[in-house]
Amino acid sequence: MKPQLVIFGCGDIGQLAHFYFSAESEYEVVAFTVDAAFMPGPDFCGLPVIPFEELASRLPPDQVHLFVALSYSKLNAVRKEKFLAAKAKGYRLASFVSTRASVLNDGRIGENCFIFEDNTIQPFVSIGDNVTLWSGNHIGHHSVIGNHCFIASHAVVSGGVEIGEQCFIGVNATLRDHIKIGPRCVIGAGALLLSDADPDGVYLGAATERSKVPSNRLRGI
What does the pLDDT read at residue 193?
97
Q: Please give the model's pTM, rounded to 2 decimal places.
A: 0.95
Of 172, 153, 164, 147, the C-alpha closest to 201 is 164
What does the pLDDT read at residue 25?
97
Amino acid sitting at position 148? H
What does the pLDDT read at residue 221?
72
What does the pLDDT read at residue 216?
87
* Domain formed by 96-201, architecture: 3 Solenoid (2.160)
CATH number of 4-94: 3.40.50.20
Statement: residue 217 has pLDDT above 90: no
Local confidence band at 181 (pLDDT 50, 70, 90 cut-offs): very high
Question: Residue 92: beta bridge partners?
Answer: 65
Look at residue 151 and give its three-state secondary structure. strand
Statement: residue 37 has pLDDT above 80: yes
Question: Residue 144: beta bridge partners?
Answer: 126, 162
Of 8, 2, 5, 220, the C-alpha closest to 130 is 8
Phi-psi category of residue 85: left, alpha or beta, with phi > 0 → left and psi -120 to 50 → alpha: alpha
Phi-psi category of residue 46: left, alpha or beta, with phi > 0 → left and psi -120 to 50 → alpha: left
Edge-to-edge order in the sheet of strand 120-121: 102-103, 120-121, 138-139, 156-157, 174-175, 192-193
- C-alpha separations of 100 from 43, 57, 103, 120, 159 in Å: 30, 37, 9, 10, 22
Local confidence band at 98 (pLDDT 50, 70, 90 cut-offs): very high
Percent of the chain with pLDDT over 70: 100
Look at residue 37 and give its three-state secondary structure. helix
Mean pLDDT along residues 58-68: 98
Amino acid sitting at position 145? I
Any idea where the domains of the chain sit in the sequence? 4-94, 96-201
Question: How far apart, in whole angstroms, are the C-alpha atoms of residue 2 and residue 62?
Answer: 14
